[in-house]
A and B are shown apart, each in its own frame.
Chain A
Amino acid sequence: MIDLRQVSKTFRKQDELVDAVREITLTIAQKEIVAIIGPSGCGKSTLLNMIAGLYPPSSGAILYKGARVSDVNTDVGYMTQKDNLLPWRTVRDNVAFPLELAGVAKAERAARADQVINHVGLDGFAHRYPHELSGGMRKRACLARMLIYGAETVLLDEPFAALDAQLKLAMHDLLLKLAAETEQTVVLVTHDLMEAVTLADRVLVCTRRPATVALEQHIGLKRPRDVLNVRFTNEFKELYDTLWERLRVEYHEDRV
């Protein structure tokens, strides 16, 4: 589904060259949920931006369904920590935005938007503006928008980092439910190991900048997962410890 072949990215910051990503080779299968974890500012987001086609890699190639990503990849939905809702539109108009862009008639737009809004648990908030919603509700609106757009692949860049623990759990639950229903492929970037293990089929540990894959861990926890209780199983604990063992190295090197 998504193929990264020896992908590297170098940025120019003033006169300095910064290696953000170095020679990452990675294959993500359809319907797979992959979590990429690593220290903050290690180039994980760069990776997602390149999969989304927002900018090209400096070397190597990214293939999406066999075709090289050379322009904006409109098959993906992208969600960042900052929810990119349009502040002058109500939740309904935000959720219906992809349909509006596609030229769907107004009545149908509203009906379909309301349906999805209810599905993500935002019933009664369709006429509210984003600034009137809590952080969690805005995330729900973003998920609803991706749902209505029908993205096959969802790129998530620390989407729930700003939420408190309880809300995070609720969002994890919703995300897994939606991904299972729509058979989406999910690429999740996070620095929260708990989140990574809870959600993913596979966790990749990234090194500090420039990012390379240090460890790849298959997560065999059965689905559907109970996002609250899964973390108390022994299996979860073993996986968590293995990953943390590798991840802490990156954080330790940071301190020296």
Chain B
Amino acid sequence: MTAPDTETTSGGFRGEVANVGVPALGGGFMVVCQVALGVVILLLWQGASGRLVDNFFISNPIDVGRRLLDWIADGSLFIHIWATVYATVLGFIVGSIGGVALGIWLGVSPFTSRLLNPYLNALNALPKVALAPLFVLWFGLGIESKVALAAVLVLFLVFLNTYAGVREVDQDLIDGARLMKATRTQVITKVIIPSAMSWVFAGLKISVPYALIGAVLGEMIAANRGLGYLVQFSGSQFDSAGVFAVLIVIALLAVALNFIVEFVQHRMQQWRVVGR
């Protein structure tokens, strides 16, 4: 579980290191440096390929670029991207709803939560990827099994955070509401849920990348479309250029998802939903 307001995995590396006396430089200059570094890496890659390392293993930027352009030209890339995005988003939604509902339910039912505790622990400890064959059996080779895998990864993260948030609610606030004639439902909807909100959002935020992981993994195991399928397929064809091309697309997709999460969080803070 993750406490709200702390930067976690999804926050990513921002290069915020201690100031060790290096003079601060303008943002524009840094962007130029970053682009330059990228170009240098590409040049080194191109140079090393075929000379230092066999082209078979690391391909080279020109082939990778050509492969991407081919896929864009015949439109196949977009079919795969769409399949992955679809499974990621749907898995995220299903898992979030399930996780929040389960977290709130168990959070307010001490008996049930104690009863289920060992089983939930066992399920949580289980590497969820191991469930993939089961999902293929249940839901077939189509998109549903990918959604299920993404959802189950998201569900546990969101559940744990929501549960912690609900348990963390100040008992005095609950007592106060009860003294003012609040019913049990009112206590849950007007005190417990709003109070747990920042925890819920922290859980949702960290689970976005996991939805992508679930979708891609699901596609790698059994599928006929999606980025996971494409990387798996390229690998099995010994097509290293194809593998690198897909990896770049997945990385860009992950960055885009992160960006959306940051944007949504920013808006939420403006609406004071994630307030103290």
Contacts and interface: CB of A to CB of B under 8 A. Distances in A.
A72 B172 contact: no
B275 A52 contact: no
A88 B180 contact: no
Contacts of A77: 179
Contacts of B276: 87-88, 129, 131
The binding surface of chain B is classed by DSSP as helix
Contacts of A84: 170, 172-173, 175-176
Contact of B173 (A72, A86, A98, A129): A86
Interface in B147-206: 170, 172-173, 175-183, 186, 190-191, 194-195, 197
Interface string B219-245: 000000000000000000000000000
Interface string A74-115: 101110101010111000000001101110000000000000
B179 A97 contact: no
B181 A98 contact: yes
A88 B275 contact: yes
24 contacts: A54-B175, A72-B175, A72-B179, A74-B178, A74-B180, A74-B181, A78-B176, A80-B172, A84-B176, A86-B190, A86-B191, A86-B194, A86-B195, A87-B275, A88-B197, A88-B276, A97-B177, A98-B180, A98-B181, A101-B181, A101-B183, A101-B190, A102-B181, A129-B275
A73 B179 contact: yes
A101 B179 contact: no
Interface residues of B, number: 21
B272 interface: yes
Nearest to A100: B190
A236 interface: no
Nearest to B181: A74
Query: Which 4 pairs show the lowest CB-CB distances between chains A and B?
Result: A84-B176, A98-B180, A74-B181, A72-B178
Interface string A106-148: 0000000000000000000000010100000000000000000
A77 B177 CA distance: 10
Interface of B: 170, 172-173, 175-183, 186, 190-191, 194-195, 197, 272, 275-276
Contacts of A73: 179
Interface residues of A, number: 22
Contacts of A131: 276
A207 to B, nearest CB: 27
Contacts of B194: 86, 88
Interface in A149-163: 149
A62 to B, nearest CB: 15
B211 to A, nearest CB: 27
A88 B182 contact: no
A215 to B, nearest CB: 30
Contacts of A52: 175, 179
A238 B134 CA distance: 83
Contacts of B176: 78, 84
B25 to A, nearest CB: 37
A101 B186 contact: yes
A225 B176 CA distance: 30
A116 to B, nearest CB: 14
Contacts of B183: 101
Contacts of A102: 181
